[in-house]
Structure 1
Amino acid sequence: MAETTTDVPPAAPNATVFTFQEQATSSLALYGMSLLCIIIGSVNSAGYIKRMISKKRLIEGSITMREAKRFPLTASLVLFGLYLFFKPSNERFLWIAGVAKTLRVPEEYVQKINNSIISFASNKTTTTDPAEPLLTRLVSKIPQEHIPDAFRAAAVWVHDQLPTIGKSECMMFLTFLICFEGVSAFASLLKPLVTAILKKLPFIPSFLSFNAPYLFALKKGKKEMDEGDMEEAKNKDIEYLFKIDFDRHDLFALSVCSPILICHLFKRHWITNNIIGLSFSILGIERLHLASFKAGSLLLCGLFLYDIFWVFGTDVMTSVAKGIDAPILLQFPQDIYRNGWEANKYSMLGLGDIVIPGIFIALLRRFDQRVVQTTVESKTPQSSLKGRYYFSVTVVAYMAGLFITMAVMHHFKAAQPALLYLVPCCLFVPLLLAVIRGEVSDLWNYDEGKHVDNEENRKRVDSNKKNN
């Protein structure tokens, strides 16, 4: 979702009016950052998939047809859950009443909902003392003879010592997790540079120049085993619940990038926000693997409808975007010429509007390079397959779609579902090019599914290892 903070018409009192130069600067900055993520992420994706195939490893985190069908529904449930989390309790009831009227629920049921709202509000204001601990109120309602005085006093004391966990504490924890993952992504991108420096500088200690790997894993057996058998169990008899591998250079790069995490948690500056957001986007495009062109097309079409509904049909998307104080979007201030680095009137672009088209464009990059040979017999002469331009053409199409998004956003001074404009450009342009070049069958049937980490491919890999 693309959004601008200039939602108030210029005629409104005390409204901030930005010049064309200020608006153009912020839009061009977002424009450039999104293109940087798309290009770097797509190039890295092709290299990453090639390395995985050359090492005969299955690719984790792939989006197949099955995941593409479920993704819009899963994303909708998560988005709506966050929306309800941010809404006060009485507003949730009012929202339900509004939905009931929209769906033409019988008036008697709407009236019952309204009565529940009134009852909830009155009980909350008259019978509940917010200063009294919850455990104290619960214990006080239990008859005296059922609970000894000592136990009652101990329960109240324990409750008083526990930290209060509310919405703000949950948001702080969520923000920390998102920022930590973003800084980890930035450290992963910087790791090749860190490795080159640590191996070439003569005064670096040997324990840093020697890049020892580590593996943390949690395995679960699929059948009963005796103690000690898990270590030597075959792959078909176990599954990983958690697995992470890293090395010393990963830890060193993360420590170098940690000031960005600390700075953003305390300052919430737009520069640290963009560093984390760019890292998220580039690594997401590189590592999120679309298994086939069909899966990518289905995913784009599903999220096309998802974005339109949640932005135009409800206030859910905008409420969640404004409610989460975390680097889930790129920002650039429109008042930077007036306030410098302390500017705070932003134009914004959601990371999903970069990553979702980006993983599709990365698939076209791999199609250009024929990372995986299609299983369908090609009718196109091999000589004409050497010069493909699907990646370049679709990047230009993405640029056009993003330009249209920002133009419409500034014209109407309101948030826009960016995928409404990006999906048609990114999907129909490569299909049109395939029609012109006579490669529709090659493009439509391009599939990397045999390298996806699933049960069928794991059995095939294990069988090949046995035969070899």
Structure 2
Amino acid sequence: MAETTPSPSLDAGNPTANVTFTFAEQATASLALYGLSLLCIVWGGINSASFVKRLIAKKRLVETSITISEARKFPLTASIVLFSLYIFFKPDGKEWLLGFLSVHLPAHISERLNKTLLPGEGSTSLFQKLEAVTPENAKFLLEYIPTITKQHFMYFLLVFLCFEGCVSLAAILKPIYQRILRLLPIGDRWPRKNTSYLLSLKKGKKEMDQGDIEDATKRDVEYLMKIEVDSHDIIGILMCIPVGISHLYRRHWVTNNLLGVAFSIFGIENLHLSSFKAGSLLLSGLFIYDIFWVFATDVMTSVAKGIDAPILLQFPQDIFQNGWLEASKHSMLGLGDIVIPGIFIALLRRFDQRLGEKSGEKAKGPLKGRYYFATTIIAYMLGLFITMAVMHHFKRAQPALLYLVPTCLLIPLVLAVIRGELSELWNYDEEHLIEKDEDSKKKKVSDDKKKN
């Protein structure tokens, strides 16, 4: 969702009440967001192709990918998460939800919910019922439950996202500082020497004796957690941690954008779309999702304003009036409006490479072998320009995917028709690169037997 912070209403007690933004100020903010989003798309798309190529070279499979089945469920899952956050952030969320359910649920169920969650005089609250069934030696834990507020949850979420942002920032900057570390004149010692570590948690799929799980085959175990890092990753994270700490204390738009850009590039690089059909289905579903939650309700805008975390890019419109340190009235662009089209454009980058490998042609010129990637970046630029133009015209938040999805989806299809590659583009998939679970393998074997 693209949004511009409206000018404050007239208020004698508000010193910034009469502030208005000139066209130059608004254009500067929009162009800055425009440039940052394009940086994420191009950088992330190139990294995504390199990431998949490295896996192929090492004969490894992509562990997680968005297939057609996941793309079909994604808008519904996102809607449930978004609406849950809305209920959480809404000041009277509990009362509002109960009022909504009382209209749509049977009377006896609605009455029971009201008595449980909103107890009146003489009735027992949910916390009192929980206290009654809690053992005496564990009741001291209940003393801390009432003190956990929405603010505590929000701060925990902020700390978590800042740390993840630092990890993403370290990951995208790794080639730079790794080269610097390797140039240190210290021989083959730390920190020049790079040592790898694997932190994992396995679960056996069948009963086995203690000690057997270590040597068990992949068929008999599954990973609950697997984190692979090296000493250069750790050094990079430590170097980036000050950015996260600074954002925790100041919430400045510069640190917000550093973390947001890192999130976007890292997400585009690592979120893998399995096929063009899956990407088309994902974009189409989120097209409807974005329109509904922005235009039909206030859910999207409420959540975007309620989460004080680096989940969007910002640029101040009052930067010329108040300077880059004190500016506070921002234009905003959600990271979803960058990452979702970005992973689709990254898929087209890999499709370009597949076409080049298939034809065996040598690259000649800046666009040779990169027709779809370059064209869809231009399509994204067009869609984002329309989004910002409409946003400034109507002075209200816009569902960016309303304009980005048609341009990013239709323009490459038109190009494929012109080049006679429509069937090849539509049927392009990378499912042979995906690590499938046992159920998927059995289903594939069963489908192959039916075909034969």
TM-score (norm: length of structure 1): 0.83
1:223 Cα deviation from its structure 2 partner:
1.1
Amino acid at match of 1:16: V
Is 1:4 the counterpart of 2:7? The answer is no
Residue in structure 1 matched with residue 339 of structure 2 by the alignment: 355
Residue in structure 1 matched with residue 21 of structure 2 by the alignment: 18
1:94 Cα deviation from its structure 2 partner:
3.3
Q: CA 1:138 to 1:54, structure 2 compared with 1: closer, same or farther past 3 Å?
A: closer
Distance (whole Å) between structure 2 residues aligned to residue 62 and residue 119 of structure 1: 41
Q: Note the aligned Cα RMSD (angstroms).
A: 3.6
Amino acid at match of 1:94: W
Q: Could you tell me whether the CA contact under 8 Å between 1:311 and 1:317 is conserved in 2?
A: yes
Residue in structure 1 matched with residue 190 of structure 2 by the alignment: 207
Residue in structure 2 matched with residue 440 of structure 1 by the alignment: 422
Residue in structure 2 matched with residue 264 of structure 1 by the alignment: 247
Amino acid at match of 2:211: G
Q: CA 1:208 to 1:9, structure 2 compared with 1: closer, same or farther past 3 Å?
A: same
Distance (whole Å) between structure 2 residues aligned to residue 339 and residue 237 of structure 1: 62
Amino acid at match of 1:442: E
The structure 2 residue matched to 1:414, chosen from 372, 396, 402, is 396
- For structure 2, the 5+ residue unaligned runs are 443-452
SS in 2 for 1:232: coil
Distance (whole Å) between structure 2 residues aligned to residue 159 and residue 388 of structure 1: 60
The structure 2 residue matched to 1:242, chosen from 225, 245, 254, is 225
Q: CA 1:281 to 1:122, structure 2 compared with 1: closer, same or farther past 3 Å?
A: same
Amino acid at match of 1:446: Y
- Rg (Cα) greater in structure: 1
1:199 Cα deviation from its structure 2 partner:
1.5
Deviation by residue 1:393-430 (Cα, 9 ceiling, x = unmatched): 11011001000101111111111000000000000000
Q: CA 1:344 to 1:7, structure 2 compared with 1: closer, same or farther past 3 Å?
A: closer
1:98 Cα deviation from its structure 2 partner:
5.9
Deviation by residue 1:2-58 (Cα, 9 ceiling, x = unmatched): 001016689999353100010000000000000000000001111111110111101
Q: Could you tell me whether the CA contact under 8 Å between 2:337 and 2:400 is conserved in 1?
A: yes
1:333 Cα deviation from its structure 2 partner:
0.4
Q: CA 1:163 to 1:260, structure 2 compared with 1: closer, same or farther past 3 Å?
A: farther
- Any residues of structure 2 matched to 1:305-384 within 5 Å, and which? 305-340=288-323, 341-370=325-354
1:159 Cα deviation from its structure 2 partner:
5.3
Is 1:64 the counterpart of 2:57? The answer is no
Is 1:35 the counterpart of 2:38? The answer is yes
1:187 Cα deviation from its structure 2 partner:
0.5
Deviation by residue 1:261-298 (Cα, 9 ceiling, x = unmatched): 11111111111100000000001111111110000000
SS in 2 for 1:39: helix
1:87 Cα deviation from its structure 2 partner:
1.9
More displaced, 194-203 or 209-218? 194-203
Is 1:391 the counterpart of 2:344? The answer is no
Residue in structure 2 matched with residue 171 of structure 1 by the alignment: 154
More displaced, 335-344 or 348-357? 335-344
SS in 2 for 1:290: coil
Is 1:93 the counterpart of 2:92? The answer is no
Amino acid at match of 1:223: K
Residue in structure 2 matched with residue 82 of structure 1 by the alignment: 85
Distance (whole Å) between structure 1 residues aligned to residue 5 and residue 20 of structure 2: 11
Distance (whole Å) between structure 2 residues aligned to residue 291 and residue 122 of structure 1: 50
Distance (whole Å) between structure 1 residues aligned to residue 145 and residue 403 of structure 2: 50
Amino acid at match of 1:268: R
- For structure 1, the 5+ residue unaligned runs are 129-133, 375-380, 461-468
Amino acid at match of 2:414: L
1:122 Cα deviation from its structure 2 partner:
8.8
Distance (whole Å) between structure 2 residues aligned to residue 116 and residue 65 of structure 1: 38
Amino acid at match of 1:93: E
SS in 2 for 1:57: coil
Deviation by residue 1:287-331 (Cα, 9 ceiling, x = unmatched): 111110000000000000000011111111111111111000000
More displaced, 251-260 or 165-174? 165-174
Deviation by residue 1:205-252 (Cα, 9 ceiling, x = unmatched): 812111110000001111111111111111111111100000100101
Distance (whole Å) between structure 2 residues aligned to residue 240 and residue 49 of structure 1: 21
SS in 2 for 1:61: coil
Distance (whole Å) between structure 2 residues aligned to residue 347 and residue 330 of structure 1: 8
SS in 2 for 1:447: coil
TM-score (norm: length of structure 2): 0.86
Residue in structure 1 matched with residue 408 of structure 2 by the alignment: 426
The structure 2 residue matched to 1:253, chosen from 221, 236, 247, is 236
1:162 Cα deviation from its structure 2 partner:
7.8
Residue in structure 2 matched with residue 218 of structure 1 by the alignment: 201
Distance (whole Å) between structure 1 residues aligned to residue 184 and residue 370 of structure 2: 42
- Count, aligned residues: 434
Q: CA 1:42 to 1:161, structure 2 compared with 1: closer, same or farther past 3 Å?
A: closer
Q: Could you tell me whether the CA contact under 8 Å between 1:72 and 1:302 is conserved in 2?
A: yes
Is 1:280 the counterpart of 2:282? The answer is no
Amino acid at match of 1:76: S
- Any residues of structure 2 matched to 1:81-160 within 5 Å, and which? 81-88=84-91, 90-94=92-96, 97=99, 123=120
Q: Could you tell me whether the CA contact under 8 Å between 2:98 and 2:113 is conserved in 1?
A: no
Distance (whole Å) between structure 1 residues aligned to residue 86 and residue 59 of structure 2: 43
Q: Could you tell me whether the CA contact under 8 Å between 1:7 and 1:414 is conserved in 2?
A: no
Q: CA 1:138 to 1:393, structure 2 compared with 1: closer, same or farther past 3 Å?
A: closer
Q: CA 1:353 to 1:224, structure 2 compared with 1: closer, same or farther past 3 Å?
A: same
Q: Could you tell me whether the CA contact under 8 Å between 1:8 and 1:413 is conserved in 2?
A: no
Distance (whole Å) between structure 2 residues aligned to residue 411 and residue 345 of structure 1: 18
Q: CA 1:158 to 1:179, structure 2 compared with 1: closer, same or farther past 3 Å?
A: closer
Amino acid at match of 2:6: T
Distance (whole Å) between structure 2 residues aligned to residue 292 and residue 165 of structure 1: 44
Q: Could you tell me whether the CA contact under 8 Å between 1:93 and 1:113 is conserved in 2?
A: no
Residue in structure 2 matched with residue 378 of structure 1 by the alignment: none
